[in-house]
Amino acid sequence: MPITNTSKGMRTVHDIPVLRDIPVLVRAALNVPIEHGGVANDYRLRRALPTLQYLSERGARIVLVSHIGDKGTETLKPVADALSRLIPNVSFCETTIGEAARQAVRALHPGHILVLENVRRDRGETENDPLFAKELALLADVFVQDSFDTCHRMHASVVGVPKLLPSYAGILLAEEVQELAKAMRPGHPALAVIGGAKFSTKEPVLKSLLKVYDHVFVGGALANDFLKASGHDVGVSLVSGAPADDIRTLLENEKLVVPTDVVVTTPEESGTPDARTRARVTEPRAVGKNESILDVGPTTSALLAELARTSKTILWNGPLGNYEHGFTDATDALARAIGASNAHSVIGGGDTIAAIEKLGTLS
């Protein structure tokens, strides 16, 4: 059954009146892990397929725009190659805007898909440059937002283009809005696990969750802010520099849960191949001045596993440790615990999804 108007004022692709031979600009979530020049995990690409298939079957000329990586230098070429193995008639354009991109769009046949180069290669994207947004909008007659994980960003392809084109939600975005709406009316007991690095972006989320969830666990680099505000020396761990008073206000809520033990190592060791084996587990109060917190410890993991076992609803976003550098134990342990639970689970975040898929617990 088509999902339409899942939220007040939300129009979806099912509401687009005409699609045949219409160029449609789709902001997709194609930020997948790349290893050895190829896509290491295509879960996000498979999640993007329903919107692409819907548009393709109705003869739209589909123009995909997305980012990949954080540096602004990475290419979406391997992503386009991987996508072409999942859905037919996919091509790649080495530019994002300009005459070459416009020619590539004009050459598209109905039902075919064009992947533009990494949108963040142009500073106009992250700076929300109106001229860059206009160049993107010139490529299509309709805009579809299907990248939920970028909706909070003030970037040209997220907030600039919708001002210039008739705009609709993709199928994936609409589904995720629906799931989050359910998550804000959880069955109890309810557990929320929130990772990330910036307190400023997570503060309103935490405040909302603390109103409706029984336990809200803070992990990842975000936890370092809370441990520091609690009076612990976090050494050289990554912190966001958020106002301590704001964090202490949240710490006063008995529903908030922070790590009781952590995995630490020195910056010199953290980048070495055997960093995990040389790391040590300690209580937050005993972190050394030259040490960095890179994961939560086994006692905390056991606590989370027990909370997951007894929960009816679990909301999880963000890994518990420095996942990219191999500190995956706590994240993997939580993925297994959630997979073994009977809870209704809502899970987001690239590394979080990767952990669950790697362990075969994704459904």
Q: Is the peptide bond before 189 cis (omega within 30 degrees of 0)?
A: yes
Q: How confident is the model over 154-164, as a mean pLDDT?
A: 97
The answer for residues whose C-beta is within 8 angstroms of residue 360's C-beta and 6 or more apart is none
| pLDDT value of residue 104 | 98
In this predicted structure, the answer to whether residue 228 has a pLDDT above a threshold of 60 is: yes
3 state SS of 265: strand
Q: Report how far Cα 334 is from the mean position of its chain's Cα atoms.
A: 18
In this predicted model, what pLDDT tens digit does every residue of 238-295 receive, in sequence order?
Answer: 998 889 999 999 999 999 999 999 999 987 666 666 667 779 999 999 999 999 999 9
Distance, CA of 211 to CA of 166 (rounded, Å): 36
In this predicted model, what pLDDT tens digit does every residue of 110-124 receive, in sequence order?
Answer: 999 999 999 999 999
In this predicted model, what pLDDT tens digit does every residue of 172-206 receive, in sequence order?
Answer: 999 989 888 888 999 999 999 998 887 888 899 99
- Is the separation of the CB atoms in 75 and 51 below 8 Å? no
Q: Specify the higher pLDDT residue, 353 or 77.
A: 77
Task: Give CA angle at 257 (253, 258), nearest 5°.
Answer: 120
Distance, CA of 320 to CA of 325 (rounded, Å): 12
Torsion over CA: 247, 251, 252, 253 (sign)? positive
In this predicted structure, the answer to whether residue 7 has a pLDDT above a threshold of 50 is: no
- Is the separation of the CB atoms in 29 and 172 below 8 Å? yes
In this predicted structure, the answer to whether residue 2 has a pLDDT above a threshold of 50 is: no
Q: Which of 54-68, 247-261, 333-347, 348-362 has the lowest mean pLDDT?
A: 348-362
Q: Specify the higher pLDDT residue, 349 or 160.
A: 160
